[in-house]
Amino acid sequence: MTQAIKNYRKVLIGNLPQTSVEELTEAFCEFSNTISEISLYIDQKGKSAGHAYIEMTSREHAESLVDQNNTIELKGRLLNLSLAEQTQDCVKQKKRWIFF
């Protein structure tokens, strides 16, 4: 495993309900001091399209968040958490993201 992949620290969040940035942030408040960025995909109607990325401050924090898989719930849905692939390049796919 290369050093870049070993240090990659983004988590893919799936099964999101249509949600606001504030609700997503509240769902991860327990990890707020280890989150450096949240990227929420917004569809053409301005609503959450069901997935987001969270960048953590370290690989260890990302793995710790993924270990919470199937325990974080938002609007009655259990969120799917997994380490994101470093090779993913969603920005080039003309998707609209909100970063905060």
Per residue in 40-53, pLDDT (tens digit) is 888 777 777 888 99
What pLDDT, on a 0 to 100 scale, did the predictor assign at position 11?
Answer: 93
Three-state helix/strand/coil letters over 15-40: CCCCCCHHHHHHHCHHHHHHEEEEEE
80 pLDDT higher than 90: yes
The answer on pLDDT for 57 being more than 90 is yes
pTM: 0.76
Fold of 7-99: Alpha-Beta Plaits (3.30.70)
Contact 14, 40 (CB under 8 A): no
